[in-house]
Amino acid sequence: MRALVMLLALFFIITLDSSCGSLASNVSCLENEREALIKFKGNLTDEANRLRSWAGKDCCTWEGIGCSRRTGHVMKLDLRNPISYFSEIDYENSLMKELGGEISPSLVDLKHLSYLDLSGNNLSGVDFLGSLKSLRYLNLSSSNLVGKVPRNLGNLSRLQYLDLNNNDLVGPIPNTLERLTSLTVLDLSDNQFNDTIKVPFFPSLGNMTQLTVLDLSYNQFKGEIPNSMKNLCSLRIFDLSSNEFSGEIVSPLYGCIRTSLEELNLMFNLFTGQLPNHLGEFKNLERLLIDGNSFSGPLPSSLGRLSYLRELTARDNQLNGSIPVGLGQLFNLQTLDL
Ligand SMILES: *[C@@H]1O[C@H](CO)[C@@H](O)[C@H](O)[C@H]1NC(C)=O
Ligand SMILES: *[C@@H]1O[C@H](CO)[C@@H](O)[C@H](O)[C@H]1NC(C)=O
Ligand SMILES: *[C@@H]1O[C@H](CO)[C@@H](O)[C@H](O)[C@H]1NC(C)=O
Ligand SMILES: *[C@@H]1O[C@H](CO)[C@@H](O)[C@H](O)[C@H]1NC(C)=O
Ligand SMILES: *[C@@H]1O[C@H](CO)[C@@H](O)[C@H](O)[C@H]1NC(C)=O
Ligand SMILES: *[C@@H]1O[C@H](CO)[C@@H](O)[C@H](O)[C@H]1NC(C)=O
Ligand SMILES: *[C@@H]1O[C@H](CO)[C@@H](O)[C@H](O)[C@H]1NC(C)=O
Ligand SMILES: *[C@@H]1O[C@H](CO)[C@@H](O)[C@H](O)[C@H]1NC(C)=O
């Protein structure tokens, strides 16, 4: 009996010891990944010395780097400019904090990189990014990018967030992006895209059924909203403002998009026709912004059923008729601009 107890005790000590041992052993940066990051740093200008912590063996402790605690692989590279480009007060500061130069293709050695945020910097050399197969999050907003969206971005089949906002990218948007069916956020706003809706990319948007945010605002996109949009059952924010979209909006907005949408921004386009009466079925709609189009006819009386509506703006259209009585019952309405 005593022998058995001792044996059990010994067993516990051994197992405890070995598990503690694996916890205590610091899994640190892998050498080839450290080298890849050093190369990446070597190609960047860094006036504010933001990368001063990038020295020494353990790259997992460097500014902006996140590693898997289990394997030590670099999973995250977040070098977002800490000062927003859009804050006027801090514009100069923002420029000072910019990293500049070409993104080194050495990053392909970070085989497990799933999160890459280089937004707010002054960068080029994005052509290889389609090789970063593990990416789920890619943020290159306000990065001074020029040229076309690389075709190989379509290879990032795990991508859930793609933010290319506020660059100088031009069309055509490659049809390869139709493979990005895991996207939940797609932001192409504030670029120089002038594609017509005929390019294959647009109908394929209807296949991105996980989308919650689709922002195409501030470009020169042309044409009618594709009917496939109505299948986007998770879409909460749909922003097409400041483009040259045209045609009627009745059928593309008749589908399960009705139940999810919280914000519909169609401002400053060339839309025509009447506002569909089924707008009243967009139960979760909080903001409906249609200023600066050529919508005609009456405001649908069904708008009086949108109990979450906070903002309705419709100035600069050819709407006529009377204000639906039901609007008076929308207790959440804060802004009404006709
Ligand atoms: C683990 O890392 C910490 C600090 O990074 C250090 O203090 C500690 O000695 C290391 N432990 C081992 C077992 O290397
Ligand atoms: C990047 O750095 C490597 C040396 O590590 C150099 O050969 C290459 O020319 C650099 N590229 C640019 C665009 O500066
Ligand atoms: C990308 O980064 C900018 C800041 O540079 C931020 O405002 C934006 O929300 C980010 N996009 C996503 C999809 O997280
Ligand atoms: C951005 O980088 C380019 C060179 O790649 C340079 O000509 C330009 O002045 C930089 N812009 C800013 C705002 O630093
Ligand atoms: C990545 O995409 C490009 C262009 O779309 C394609 O030619 C290439 O075969 C793809 N590579 C891989 C490894 O999937
Ligand atoms: C898009 O812009 C480019 C360059 O300004 C121009 O050559 C092209 O014809 C435009 N495409 C459309 C569809 O307007
Ligand atoms: C969208 O998905 C359907 C099947 O779900 C497929 O038949 C169609 O080719 C896809 N369209 C595009 C443009 O990828
Ligand atoms: C609204 O305008 C249309 C012509 O665009 C006209 O047929 C209709 O009678 C007008 N309705 C009202 C209530 O003024």
> Please, what sign has the CA dihedral across residues 73, 156, 263, 216?
positive
pLDDT digits (tens, 9 = 90+) for 146-188: 999 999 999 999 999 999 999 999 989 999 999 999 999 999 9
CA pair distance 5, 8, nearest whole angstrom: 5
Number of Cβ atoms within 10 Å of the Cβ of 174:
17
Residue 15: the pLDDT is: 39
* For residue 19, pLDDT beyond 50: no
Tell me the average pLDDT across 37-45: 98
- Does the Cβ of 26 fall within 6 Å of ligand 1? yes
Tell me the average pLDDT across 136-148: 97
- Does the Cβ of 98 fall within 6 Å of ligand 3? no
Helix segments in the chain, DSSP class H: 2-24, 31-42, 91-96, 201-204, 257-260
Which atom of ligand 7 is nearest to 204's Cα? 13
Whether residue 219 contacts residue 192, with contact meaning beta carbons closer than 8 Å, is answered with yes
Which atom of ligand 1 is nearest to 61's Cα? 5
Q: Please provide the average confidence, as pLDDT, over all residues in the chain.
A: 90
Which atom of ligand 3 is nearest to 85's Cα? 5
- Residue 282's SS3 state is coil
The 3-state secondary structure of 41-107, one letter per residue: HHCEEECCCCCCCCCCCCHHHCCCEEECCCCCCEEEEECCCCCCCCCHHHHHHHHHCCEEEECCHHH
Whether residue 133 contacts residue 158, with contact meaning beta carbons closer than 8 Å, is answered with yes
Higher pLDDT, 62 or 230: 62
- Does the Cβ of 194 fall within 6 Å of ligand 6? yes
The pLDDT-based confidence of 227 (bands split at 50, 70, 90) is: confident
Closest CA to 163 of 194, 201, 131, 129: 129
Which atom of ligand 4 is nearest to 122's Cα? 1
CA pair distance 319, 83, nearest whole angstrom: 43
What are the DSSP E strand ranges found in 211-304? 213-215, 222-224, 237-239, 244-247, 263-265, 270-274, 287-289, 294-297
Distance of CA 124 from the midpoint of ligand 4 (Å): 10
* For residue 306, pLDDT beyond 90: yes
Higher pLDDT, 90 or 221: 221
* For residue 24, pLDDT beyond 60: no
Choose the most confident range, by mean pLDDT, from 38-42, 203-207, 223-227, 323-327. 38-42
CA pair distance 335, 239, nearest whole angstrom: 18
Closest CA to 204 of 115, 117, 289, 195: 195
Whether residue 48 contacts residue 87, with contact meaning beta carbons closer than 8 Å, is answered with no
Distance of CA 113 from the midpoint of ligand 2 (Å): 22
Residue 254: the pLDDT is: 84
Distance of CA 187 from the midpoint of ligand 3 (Å): 9
Whether residue 128 contacts residue 153, with contact meaning beta carbons closer than 8 Å, is answered with no
The pLDDT-based confidence of 91 (bands split at 50, 70, 90) is: confident
Higher pLDDT, 144 or 85: 144
The pLDDT-based confidence of 86 (bands split at 50, 70, 90) is: low
Residue 139: the pLDDT is: 98
Tell me the average pLDDT across 123-135: 97
Structure tokens at 143: 């990065």
Ligand nearest to the CA of 138: 3
CA pair distance 146, 123, nearest whole angstrom: 9
Q: Please tell me the residue having the least CA distance from ligand 2 atom 7.
A: 43
Choose the residue to mutate in 168, 191, 194, 221 for probing ligand 6, maximizing ligand atoms within 8 Å of C-beta: 194
* For residue 16, pLDDT beyond 90: no
Whether residue 68 contacts residue 112, with contact meaning beta carbons closer than 8 Å, is answered with yes
- Does the Cβ of 132 fall within 6 Å of ligand 5? no
